[in-house]
Amino acid sequence: MVPAILSRRVDNNEVQVDLGQQWGKHLLEGNDLRNKVMHSALGEPLPRVTKKELVASAKAVFAYFEELTIKLPDSFNYMNILLKDVQKLTDEITAI
């Protein structure tokens, strides 16, 4: 939704991000994971999230923003700098 709004307002074109790719699947799963943890029932123990799930979700978010830097460069080109640092951090976390 946000990319579509930005593409119309900032870049003057209609852009859609295809979530049918592997990272899109992980992005949606990560959203479900987030919702389970952030909106768990009162009095219930917090759901456990594995490192593998967390890393897959993080990588999916980064892939989403990489896609945005390609499709909406005027709006998201600045993210390239941040994505390089994030990739390094993700690699370090994965190695632990």
- pLDDT tens-digit map of 53-89: 988 998 898 898 888 888 888 778 888 888 888 878 8
C-alpha 92/C-alpha 30 separation (Å) is 20
Whether 12 maps to a domain, the answer reads: no
Most confident of 10-14, 21-25, 67-71, 92-96: 21-25
DSSP code per residue over 68-85: HHHH-HHHHTTHHHHHHH
Number of structural domains in the chain: 1
Whether 74 maps to a domain, the answer reads: yes
Is residue 1's pLDDT more than 60?
no
Whether 5 maps to a domain, the answer reads: no
Whether 7 maps to a domain, the answer reads: no
pLDDT of residue 73: 83
* Structural domain containing residue 57: 19-95
Structure tokens at 80: 């390239």
pTM of the model: 0.77
